[in-house]
Amino acid sequence: KAGVTQTPRYLIKTRGQQVTLSCSPISGHRSVSWYQQTPGQGLQFLFEYFSETQRNKGNFPGRFSGRQFSNSRSEMNVSTLELGDSALYLCASSTSSGGRTDTQYFGPGTRLTVL
Amino acid sequence: AQSVTQLGSHVSVSEGALVLLRCNYSSSVPPYLFWYVQYPNQGLQLLLKYTSAATLVKGINGFEAEFKKSETSFHLTKPSAHMSDAAEYFCAVSVGGAQKLVFGQGTRLTINP
């Protein structure tokens, strides 16, 4: 089975721009979660989507948004980029059949640099 | 709210020596606990997970971890370090069926030849 894929792997943007990152989960996985990784704050949960609905949300401003499509692929969008948004953005997928915590499998990440 | 503390941001051991990476968690309900490893410029790879089935959990690459409720700990060990174990290790907790992981700050493991 193919793993979680993320595109693009690297992005360079300037302040004020917006960016869209894409994640394709493992086949059969319906839950997709997003995390931000920075040297200062470590790994922080952004949000989780399941069956096209946001099911959990972390403590990030509204500039960070996401969505999930009927084929479980997910995108996250960051508007009005700030320097502090420079980070590795990780996507993870799981079966999440409900009522228990299933293992999350991570993609390689998208490295976003904001200049 | 749950949280995770990893004691020691950097750990250095000699090749062949015991590896011990410490993780303490805080949770008001029985947690699910995970250890992930991250190699440079890569995502996270699952090493092992605790889901209440057994307190001693064996994972990949010779790693294991023991869940100790009385100490709220889930330390990761490997009897004999290998150069390929050099990486960053993250302990994470999740509760209540949520697909939301709360991570520790990570421990960078260095292996000396």
3-state secondary structure A30-50: CEEEEEEEECCCEEEEEEEEE
CA distance B104 to chain A (A): 8
Residues of chain A with pLDDT under 50: none
Question: What integer pLDDT is reported at residue A52 of this predicted model?
Answer: 92
Q: What share of chain A is helix, strand, coil (3-state, %, to 5)?
A: 5, 50, 45
Question: What integer pLDDT is reported at residue B8 of this predicted model?
Answer: 92
| Chain B residues 59-98 with CB within 8 Å of chain A | 90, 92, 94-98
Q: Do B44 and A92 touch (CB under 8 A)?
A: yes
User: Residue B53: is its pLDDT beyond 80?
Assistant: no
Q: Cβ–Cβ contacts within 10 Å for residue B5, how many?
A: 14
Question: What integer pLDDT is reported at residue A100 of this predicted model?
Answer: 65
Question: What integer pLDDT is reported at residue B97 of this predicted model?
Answer: 65
pLDDT category, B41, cuts 50, 70, 90? confident
pLDDT in tens, B69-111: 899 999 999 999 999 999 999 999 987 667 889 999 999 999 9
- How many percent of chain B have pLDDT more than 90? 75
pLDDT, averaged across chain B: 92
CA distance B63 to A64: 36
